[in-house]
């Protein structure tokens, strides 16, 4: 039995009817549109959004120790850090991030030894002036307080990627996505 | 009443009603198309986007009016008007209810068909005057296509004329008080199908939209137009589609016949015309564009002989039934 001719009138009419039936069914499906400024979509747990600096939870100090690891690892080299030497620990004297050139690769978050630089669950920084995207230390801290923090921090990511260890109770607890220790 | 005064006033009312309808039909089409693609469509301007057409019209009025330096200025500026006038004139003979129309000519259908194919003059002027290769290509394709599809369109439209025995649109509508011509056994359905297909082609709607083929010719013959002239061309195109929808409603769907009291007639007419318009839109969002040679093959090798045969067999049926 030969294959039916696709140009035969019957085949054409069937194809036409099928195409119209599909669009007709789609007419009664719920639209997938999300009314963005009114409703926000649910962000994924490990969302790579705006970058921010955070404070240490227990002491309230700045978590950044100015180690400049993020500056070295940054592929587009948008991070500039100056270290401020101090007695007990070091601080970042200045920390600037050119968000307009950032490629949101999350490498800075992965290398941060103190979980100081993290990503936020937001992309909402549209502006008419590019200079507003040059974030300094105060601005980064402000962003850190303003939005919800994404799951990933340096220590969690390294724990995930390192060789498997003997599971001890507290480490198994720390690797869970819900527990963020910032 | 003075017939001159009556014509002037009713013409004025119909013209404005058509313009108002066109603006809101664009919203209807956009909403309908959006739902077919699982979108919402215009939503932000006014409740559920109800003020969107007004915003669009205001935007088009405020846009800069650009004339290309090498364009043929007179032809370029005249083209939108030459295009718009026939598209508006087709509403002159359409009776919206018994006795409610500008001019119910005894050759109403002939007038409609003659005037509606006049739009091609304005279209070709626009394409030629723009001095743009895409516009010219599009205009030539349009002439090619509209000449090819006017014949099947006329043949399909003549079937109800034969069945009703009159060219007067109100007579054709009145002849359907018993049985709508679309329900006439076999002949009605075939003629309606041919009418819809050739309407799609004559209006240059997808899948026959080679003249504005978005991906190759940008916007076709209106690519160089902006602002109010662009708005006039769009107005003309939509008015032509709506006019054809009304014609289809009169010829096949029984015009103002429908349940309910007589004063609901115009509403039924409008509903049927909008049904046809949505049918055209539905087809638009269901198919891909077909090639030039396929379009012409469909017209000359399939639709032409088929509608001609249909017309002859309709004539035989009518004579046979009258004889018995």
Q: What percent of chain B has pLDDT over 70?
A: 99
> Looking at the partner chain, which of A16, A22, A31 has a beta carbon nearest the beta carbon of B39?
A31
A26/chain B closest Cα distance in angstroms: 5
Q: How many Cβ atoms from other residues are within 10 Å of residue A149's Cβ?
A: 18
Would you call B59 an interface residue with chain A, using a CB distance cutoff of 8 Å?
no
Apex CA A22: angle with CA A19 and CA A24, to 5°? 110
Does residue B123 register a pLDDT over 60? yes
Closest CA to B170 of B271, B88, B101: B101
Hey, is A94 helix, strand or coil? strand
Mutate to test the interface with A, among B29, B36, B190 (most CBs of A within 10 A): B36
Would you call A32 an interface residue with chain B, using a CB distance cutoff of 8 Å?
yes
Residue A177's pLDDT is 54
Paired residues of B124 in beta bridges: none
Closest CA to B241 of B207, B212, B205: B205
C-alpha distances (whole Å) from B215 to each of A37, A140, B135, B194, B324 are 32, 45, 14, 28, 56
Contact present, A91 and A84 (Cβ < 8 Å): yes
B120/chain A closest Cα distance in angstroms: 29
Closest CA to A135 of A123, A127, A143, A146: A143
- What number is the average pLDDT over the span B267-280? 88
At B9, the pLDDT band (50, 70, 90 cuts) reads confident
Q: Give the model confidence (pLDDT) of A26-39 as tens digits.
A: 888 888 888 887 88
Q: Integer distance in angstroms from the first to the last C-alpha of chain B? A: 45
- To which H or E segment does residue A134 belong? strand A134-135
CA B36, CA B322: separation in Å to the nearest integer? 46
Q: How many Cβ atoms from other residues are within 10 Å of residue B295's Cβ?
A: 21
Residue A173's pLDDT is 55
Would you call A30 an interface residue with chain B, using a CB distance cutoff of 8 Å?
yes
Does residue A75 register a pLDDT over 60? yes
- What number is the average pLDDT over the span B170-178? 80
Would you call B34 an interface residue with chain A, using a CB distance cutoff of 8 Å?
yes
CA B119, B125, B130, B132 dihedral sign is positive
Highest mean pLDDT among B144-153, B180-189, B256-265: B144-153
Interfacial A residues in 93-152 facing B (CB < 8 Å): none
> Looking at the partner chain, which of A24, A29, A33 has a beta carbon nearest the beta carbon of B40?
A33
> Looking at the partner chain, which of B36, B43, B287 has a beta carbon nearest the beta carbon of A27?
B36
CA B142, CA B219: separation in Å to the nearest integer? 13
Does residue B181 register a pLDDT over 80? no
Pairs across A and B, CB distance < 8 A: 32
Instruction: Please answer yes or no on whether A26 and B40 come within 8 Å at the CB atom.
Output: no
Contact present, B47 and B199 (Cβ < 8 Å): no
> Looking at the partner chain, which of B36, B283, B287 has a beta carbon nearest the beta carbon of A26?
B36
Hey, is B278 helix, strand or coil? helix
Residue B138's pLDDT is 86
pTM, rounded to two decimals: 0.77
C-alpha distances (whole Å) from B30 to each of B33, B34, B42, B324 are 5, 6, 7, 51
Q: Give the model confidence (pLDDT) of B198-250 as tens digits.
A: 888 877 777 777 777 667 777 778 888 888 888 888 888 888 888 888 888 88
Contact present, B199 and B112 (Cβ < 8 Å): no
B34 contact residues in A (CB cutoff 8 A): 31
Query: Is ipTM > 0.85 here?
Result: no
B282 contact residues in A (CB cutoff 8 A): 20, 23-24
Residue A181's pLDDT is 46
Does residue B7 register a pLDDT over 60? yes
* Domains of chain A from N-terminus onward: 51-174 (3.30.70.3270)
At A175, the pLDDT band (50, 70, 90 cuts) reads low
Instruction: Provide the residue ranges of all domains of chain B, joining segments of one domain with +.
Output: 3-323
Closest CA to B222 of B127, B128, B142: B127
Paired residues of A83 in beta bridges: A92
């Amino acid at each position: 039995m030969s294959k039916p001719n696709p140009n035969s009138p019957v085949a054409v009419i069937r194809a036409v009817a099928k195409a119209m039936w599909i669009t007709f069914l789609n007419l009664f499906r719920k639209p997938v549109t999300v009314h963005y400024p009114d409703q926000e979509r649910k962000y994924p747990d490990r969302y790579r959004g705006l970058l921010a600096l955070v404070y240490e939870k227990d002491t309230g100090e700045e978590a950044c120790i100015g180690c400049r690891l993020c500056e070295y690892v940054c592929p587009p080299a948008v991070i500039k850090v100056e270290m401020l030497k101090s007695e007990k620990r070091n601080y970042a004297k200045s920390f600037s991030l050119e968000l307009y050139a950032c490629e949101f690769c999350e490498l800075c978050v992965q290398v941060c030894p103190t979980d100081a630089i993290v990503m936020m669950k937001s992309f909402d920084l549209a502006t008419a002036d590019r200079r507003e995207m040059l974030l300094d230390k105060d601005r980064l801290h402000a962003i850190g307080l303003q939005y919800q923090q994404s799951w990933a921090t340096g220590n969690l990511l390294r724990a995930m990627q390192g060789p498997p260890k003997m599971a001890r109770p507290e480490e198994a607890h720390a690797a869970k996505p819900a527990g963020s220790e910032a | 009443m003075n017939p001159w005064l009556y014509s002037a006033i009713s013409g004025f009312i119909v013209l404005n009603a058509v313009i108002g309808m066109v603006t809101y039909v664009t919203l209807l089409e956009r909403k309908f198309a959006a739902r077919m693609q699982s979108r919402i469509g215009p939503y932000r301007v006014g409740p559920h986007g109800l003020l969107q057409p007004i915003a669009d019209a205001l935007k088009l009025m405020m846009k800069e009016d650009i004339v290309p330096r090498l364009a043929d200025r007179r032809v370029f500026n005249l083209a939108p008007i030459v295009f718009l006038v026939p598209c508006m004139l087709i509403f002159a003979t359409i009776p919206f209810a018994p006795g409610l129309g500008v001019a119910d000519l005894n050759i109403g259908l002939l007038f409609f068909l003659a005037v509606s194919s006049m739009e091609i003059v304005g279209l070709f002027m626009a394409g030629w005057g723009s001095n743009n290769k895409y516009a010219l290509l599009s205009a030539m394709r349009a002439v090619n296509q509209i000449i090819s599809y006017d014949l099947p369109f006329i043949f399909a439209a003549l079937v109800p004329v034969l069945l009703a025995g009159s060219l007067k649109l109100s007579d054709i509508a009145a002849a359907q008080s018993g049985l709508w011509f679309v329900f006439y056994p076999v002949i009605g359905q075939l003629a309606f199908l041919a009418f819809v297909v050739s309407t799609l082609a004559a209006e240059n709607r997808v899948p026959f939209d080679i003249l504005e083929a978005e991906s190759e010719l940008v916007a076709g013959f209106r690519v160089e137009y902006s602002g109010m002239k662009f708005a006039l061309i769009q107005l003309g195109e939509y008015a032509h589609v709506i006019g054809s929808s009304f014609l289809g409603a009169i010829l096949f769907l029984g015009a103002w016949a429908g349940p309910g009291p007589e004063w609901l007639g115009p509403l039924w007419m409008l509903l049927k015309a909008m049904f046809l318009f949505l049918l055209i839109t539905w087809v638009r969002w269901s198919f891909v564009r077909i090639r030039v040679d396929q379009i012409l093959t469909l017209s000359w090798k399939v639709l032409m002989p088929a509608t001609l045969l249909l017309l002859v067999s309709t004539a035989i049926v009518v004579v046979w039934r009258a004889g018995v």
